Structures are given as structure tokens and as C-alpha cells.
Amino acid sequence: MAGSNPSTQEYISHHLTNLTYGKLPAGYVRDGGTLESAQWTVAHSAQEAADMGFMAIHLDTMFWSIFLGALFCWSFARAAKAATSGVPAGFQNFVEMVVDFIDDNVKSIFHHKNDLVAPLALTVFVWVFLQNLMDLVPVDWIPELAKIMGIHYMKVVPSTDVNATAGMALGVFMLIIYYSIKQKGVGGFAAELAFQPLPKWALPFNLFLEIVGLIAKPISLALRLFGNMYAGEMVFIIISLLPFYLQWLLSVPWAIFHILIITLQAFIFAILTVVYLAMAYDHH
């Protein structure tokens, strides 16, 4: 924690700061001393994390993202190996329900042949859902455990880090560009951006509007997920500052409502991914 008896501002700041690894420049004043040379290290404060700049990495976001992704792959692979031809039960039944749900939605949106889109949508949905689900873990449990282990900060919800949501959105954006060029060619893709929907003489206006619309896709994907999850996490943190009886009175109904939010945000991210890829395939 920021101190033995942190103020409200210190408490909130602590819970919203990532465990950051980056480079501090030579001459940087740290812990009462001055660094003689540039040093790669873990930030000890929110200010140090900010001073590390763009090349810093959030270790907690990376750890929980990879851990949850591995958990998804392991659990679904285990269910697939144990699958039988009879009536499914238990976890296998749950996995089949999720797979059928995503498959039905993909078929209703994506009317082209591509063996990647449905597995991608399933991966995005489950991975984002698991990241969001970490928001239901009481806000002090894991950070306090990390503090005992000597770790200064620990944010456990990767989707409350805009770097994580932007990274996933950037991956989708690269697929949009790839399939747009693959299906239409460089010339066809460029013509789609420059010559529709207005006449050819309006090329500058078309190009500007289409490029803005293209860039808005990954930005909207990233910020929608980040904004909703960050706001939800902030509410949980504020509730944890209240007296104990109010915490239980407010946190339980908010957690129940938040289950809907985390599921809906995962579904929206997955479905918009399919919609954008379908648009990349469509010829105008």
C-alpha cells in the first residue's frame, strides 16, 4: 500500500497503478539517491512508472493476460479431448454451449469461407470474458498478497489497462487490412477508400472520411472495452473505501450487475471483430 494508513487518494492511486518495468535515465533521483547510469527496473511509485515513458511494460497486465489465455486453451482442450458422442455433462456441456453460441453468431454475420474467423471469435470472446471476470475478485485480496511478497503494485484486470485493449484491437485492425488487400488487391482496397460512396471528383473527401472510419474501428474497440471495465473497477474501489456493512450491501448487487457488463463487453468485442472482418471481405 502507499503507506500504513493510506489516504483515499493514495489508496485509489495504488489500486489503479500497474506493476511497471522500464528504464530510468541517468541522474534520476530515486529513494533518496541519484542513479549514476540508466537503469532498467521495476517502478516503486506511480511517478516512476510515468517517468519510464512509452517503452515501459506492465508486468501484471502481461502476466494475467498470458495466464488467462493459457487457462482458456488448457480448459477447452481438456474438454475437447474428453468429449463423447453422448449427452454432454458438466464442463463439456458448458464448452459446447459457448462454441455453438459463437458459431451461430458468426454464421449469421460472416457469409464467406474462412477457417480462422470462428475460432478467432471464440478466442476473443472467452479471453476477454476471463480478463473481465477478474474484476469480480475483491480489490484488496491479490494486491495485499502481492504486498506481502514484496511486489509494489498488482492490477489483476488486464482489460482495465488501455495497453491491453489497444493491443487486441490492433491485432484485429491488422487482420482487417490483411484481408481487405487479400480479397480486393491493393488497387481495389485503395479504390474502395477513395471512390465510394461519392463520385470520383470527391476523392479527397472520400479518402478522408474512409480513412477516419477505418482508424476509428480499432480505437472504438479498445476504448469501449477499456472505458467500461475501468469504470467498473473504479466503482469497486470506491465501494471498498466505505464502512464494512456498506461494502457488502453495495458490492453484492453491483457484482451481480457487473456479471452482465463483463459478458456483454466480451460479446461486443468478439462480434465487432467478426463484423469488421466481414466488411473487409465485402466488395463494393
Tell me which amino acid residue 171 is: G
Structural domain includes residue 25: no
30 phi-psi bin (left φ>0, alpha ψ -120 to 50, beta other):
beta
CB atoms < 10 A from the CB of 146, how many? 17
Structural domain includes residue 15: no
pLDDT score, position 77: 94
Structural domain includes residue 40: no
pLDDT tens track, the chain, 284 positions:
444 577 889 899 999 999 999 999 999 999 888 999 999 999 998 899 999 999 999 999 999 999 999 999 999 999 988 887 777 778 888 999 999 999 999 999 999 999 999 999 999 999 999 999 999 999 999 999 999 999 989 999 999 999 999 999 999 999 999 999 999 999 999 988 888 777 777 888 888 999 999 999 999 999 999 999 999 999 999 999 999 888 889 999 999 999 999 999 999 999 999 999 999 998 76
Catalytic site includes residue 78: no
Structural domain includes residue 116: yes
Domain count, the chain: 1
Residues 135 and 232 sit within 8 Å (Cβ to Cβ): yes
Give the separation between CA 145 and CA 190, rounded to whole angstroms: 53
Structural domain includes residue 38: no
pLDDT score, position 4: 56
Catalytic residue, from 114, 220, 240, 251: name it: 220
Domain span at 77: 58-281
Structural domain includes residue 215: yes
Catalytic site includes residue 228: yes
pLDDT score, position 3: 46
Catalytic residue, from 93, 224, 240, 251: name it: 224
What does the block give as the cell for 265?
A: 463487453
Catalytic site includes residue 132: no
Give the separation between CA 104 and CA 53, rounded to whole angstroms: 44
Structural domain includes residue 220: yes
Give the separation between CA 75 and CA 92, rounded to whole angstroms: 10
Structural domain includes residue 3: no
Catalytic residue, from 132, 180, 206, 228: name it: 228
- SS3 sequence of 133-186: HHHHCCCCHHHHHHHHCCCCCCCCCHHHCHHHHHHHHHHHHHHHHHHHHHHHHH
